[in-house]
A and B are shown apart, each in its own frame.
Chain A
C-alpha cells in the first residue's frame, strides 16, 4: 500500500495541522491583526493573485541565479582547496571567518556599495550566504579520495585531468548534492533577507513587508505559505537533479 504512505499519511497530517491552526485562532478569538487563520488566506491569495505571480518569479529567479553562482564559485574554490594543501591552509580560516558573520549585517554593507542595484544585491546575497557548504564539501570530497583510487588510474599513466573527470568528480557528487540541498535553502534565505530589508524591494519578501506596512495580516501569512511552497519546490528540484546525476549513491533497499 504505497499510496497510503506516500499520499494519505502526509495529506492527513497537513490537514490536521491546518485544522489545529484554525482551531487555535478560533478558540482564542484572535483578530486577523494578531494572527490570521487558514480560512483567511484564500481571499488574500485571490485578491493579490497578480502580485503573487510577479513577486514569486522575482524571488525564484534571483534565488536560482545566486545558487548557480554558488555552484560555480563553490566548486572552483573546493577544487582549489581539495587539490592544494597550501590553498586549503590559506583559505580555510578566511572562509570559516566569513561564514561566521551573520549575513543580515552584510545587507547594509552591500546596499551601500551597490546603491539601488536591487537585482544585483539580491543575487549577490543569495550567493554569499550559500557558497560555503558547497566549497567545503567539494574540497573534503577531493582531499579524502582514497589513495588506491588514484593509484588505479595513475599506474596506467592517466593524466590529472583524466583522474579528475573519471574519478574525483563523480565520487564527490553525493557530497556535492548534500551540500547543494543546504545551499538551496540558504540562498532562499539570502534572497528574502534583501527583499525584506531593502526599501522599494521586489519579490515575495517585499510583498511580505508591504503586508506588514499596510496592516494586511492575512497577506503576510499568505506570503509565508507561498514561501514555504517555493522552498519545497526548490528542494525537490535539487533532489531530482541528485537522482539523475548521483542516483548510484542511493543504497537499494534490497541490497
Chain B
C-alpha cells in the first residue's frame, strides 16, 4: 500500500561555516491516507526540517516527498501547518485568524461562507463565544486551539504539526490531544506530528516513527495497537505501558548511537 505522504530516501544537509551539516540521511516514512503518523527522536535530529520538506518550503538535497503520488516541489494549498508557537496575528480577531488561509486558498469564497466554516471549527474546539477576542486576550491553550482551527479551515489533505503542544501545561495538553482526536473523527485528514512527548505519540498516533540521532534516518517504526476510540485512561493500560517502554528504549539507542559506535570500534 502506498501512502498519501511518501518520504522517500530524503537526505538533507545545512551549509554551515564548518562545512555542510547533514541532518537527514536516507529517511523513509510512509503515511497512509487519513492515518496519523507521530515522529519522535532526540533533540536536534532534524525533525523540524522534515516538516518544512513535507510543506514544500524546503527542497531536499536527495530523495523527495510525494503527496498523493505527486512530487512536492513548492508549497501547496492542500497542506495545513501548526507550530509550537501558535503565531496568531495579534491585530486580527480569533475569527479572522482562522479565516486567514481561506483568503489565500479560496479568494472567491464569500465572507458569509468563510465565517460559517470558521465558526463550525471554533465550536468543535470549544472556542465558541471567543471569536471576537484578540489573541492576547486568550490563554496559551486557547490560542493553540485557534491555531489548530486555522491549520484545517481550508480542509487540507495533510496536516503538519510541529510540536504544537510543547509549550502547554500537562492538563491543557491532554485536553488538546482529545480535541485533536475529535476533530479527526469529524473530518479526517492525514497527519504528520513531530513531538518530544512519547505519551502524546502513542495516544494520538496510528504509527510512531523513531528517528535516529543526527543525521537522522528511520530507526524504528511502532504500530500503535490501540482502538481508534481512545480516551486518556488508555495510556495506563498494559499495552500502552509496553509500547512506551519500547519507545523509550529506542530513544535511548538513538541518543547513544555515536557512543555505541565508538564502543564497537574500540
Residues of B within 8 A of A249 (CB): 90-91
Determine whether A212 belongs to the interface, using a CB cutoff of 8 Å to chain B: no
Would you give the 0/1 interface string for A143-164, flagging 1 where the beta carbon is closer than 8 Å to chain B? Answer: 0001011011111111000100
* Contact among B55, B79, B89 for A170, CB-based, below 8 A: B89
Number of interface residues of B (CB under 8 A): 28
Bound Cα distance A166, B103 (Å): 10
Bound Cα distance A151, B75 (Å): 10
A251 near B136 (CB under 8 angstroms)?
yes
A155, A251, A252: which has the most chain B beta carbons within 10 Å?
A155
Query: Could you tell me the distance in whole angstroms from the C-beta of A91 to the nearest C-beta in chain B?
Result: 25
Query: Could you tell me the distance in whole angstroms from the C-beta of B15 to the nearest C-beta in chain A?
Result: 15
Determine whether A255 belongs to the interface, using a CB cutoff of 8 Å to chain B: yes
Query: Could you tell me the distance in whole angstroms from the C-beta of A149 to the nearest C-beta in chain B?
Result: 5
Determine whether A248 belongs to the interface, using a CB cutoff of 8 Å to chain B: yes
Determine whether A167 belongs to the interface, using a CB cutoff of 8 Å to chain B: yes
Given A154-B57, A154-B75, A148 and B104 contact (CB-CB distance below 8 Å): no
Q: Of the 9-residue stretches B80-88, B220-228, B229-237, which lies at the interface with chain A?
A: B80-88
- Say whether chain A's binding surface is mostly helix, strand, loop, or mixed: helix
Query: Could you tell me the distance in whole angstroms from the C-beta of B49 to the nearest C-beta in chain A?
Result: 12
Which B residues, 33 to 64, have Cβ-Cβ distances below 8 Å to chain A?
A: 52, 55-57
Which B residues, 179 to 193, have Cβ-Cβ distances below 8 Å to chain A?
A: none
Given A162-B104, A248-B134, A155 and B56 contact (CB-CB distance below 8 Å): yes
Residues of A within 8 A of B89 (CB): 149, 166-167, 170-171
Given A166-B103, A248-B134, A251-B136, A155 and B55 contact (CB-CB distance below 8 Å): yes
Would you give the 0/1 interface string for B115-142, flagging 1 where the beta carbon is closer than 8 Å to chain A? Answer: 0000000000000000000101100000
Residues of A within 8 A of B90 (CB): 171, 248-249
A151 near B81 (CB under 8 angstroms)?
yes
Residues of A within 8 A of B105 (CB): 156-157
Would you give the 0/1 interface string for B55-78, flagging 1 where the beta carbon is closer than 8 Å to chain A? Answer: 111000000000000000011110
Query: Could you tell me the distance in whole angstroms from the C-beta of A16 to the nearest C-beta in chain B?
Result: 39
Determine whether B101 belongs to the interface, using a CB cutoff of 8 Å to chain A: yes
Given A151-B52, A252-B136, A255-B137, A156 and B85 contact (CB-CB distance below 8 Å): no
Query: Could you tell me the distance in whole angstroms from the C-beta of B97 to the nearest C-beta in chain A?
Result: 10
Determine whether B23 belongs to the interface, using a CB cutoff of 8 Å to chain A: no
B91 near A153 (CB under 8 angstroms)?
no
The number of residue pairs between A and B whose CB atoms lie closer than 8 Å in the complex comes to 64
Query: Could you tell me the distance in whole angstroms from the C-beta of B159 to the nearest C-beta in chain A?
Result: 11
Residues of B within 8 A of A171 (CB): 89-91
Query: Could you tell me the distance in whole angstroms from the C-beta of A163 to the nearest C-beta in chain B?
Result: 10
Would you give the 0/1 interface string for A225-255, flagging 1 where the beta carbon is closer than 8 Å to chain B? Answer: 0000000000000000000001011011001
Given A148-B87, A157-B104, A255 and B77 contact (CB-CB distance below 8 Å): no
Query: Could you tell me the distance in whole angstroms from the C-beta of B94 to the nearest C-beta in chain A?
Result: 12
Residues of B within 8 A of A248 (CB): 90-91, 134
B104 near A158 (CB under 8 angstroms)?
yes
Bound Cα distance A148, B83 (Å): 8
Determine whether B204 belongs to the interface, using a CB cutoff of 8 Å to chain A: no
* Contact among B81, B91, B134, B136 for A155, CB-based, below 8 A: B81
B81 near A152 (CB under 8 angstroms)?
yes
Bound Cα distance A148, B105 (Å): 18
* Contact among B52, B75, B160 for A157, CB-based, below 8 A: B75
Query: Could you tell me the distance in whole angstroms from the C-beta of A105 to the nearest C-beta in chain B?
Result: 41
Given A166-B100, A252-B136, A255-B137, A152 and B87 contact (CB-CB distance below 8 Å): yes
Query: Could you tell me the distance in whole angstroms from the C-beta of A137 to the nearest C-beta in chain B?
Result: 17
B55, B56, B104, B137: which has the most chain A beta carbons within 10 Å?
B104
Given A146-B87, A156-B77, A167-B89, A151 and B101 contact (CB-CB distance below 8 Å): no
Bound Cα distance A158, B102 (Å): 11
Cβ contacts A to B, 15 pairs, < 8 Å: A146-B87, A152-B150, A154-B57, A155-B57, A155-B80, A156-B77, A156-B79, A162-B104, A167-B89, A170-B89, A246-B91, A248-B91, A249-B90, A249-B91, A252-B136
Nearest 7 CB-CB pairings of A with B: A248-B91, A155-B55, A148-B87, A156-B104, A157-B75, A170-B91, A158-B104
Extra 8 A-B pairs, beta carbons < 8 Å, given A146-B87, A251-B136? A149-B87, A149-B89, A151-B52, A155-B160, A156-B77, A170-B89, A173-B91, A255-B137
Binding site for B on A (CB under 8 A): 146, 148-149, 151-158, 162, 166-167, 170-171, 173, 246, 248-249, 251-252, 255
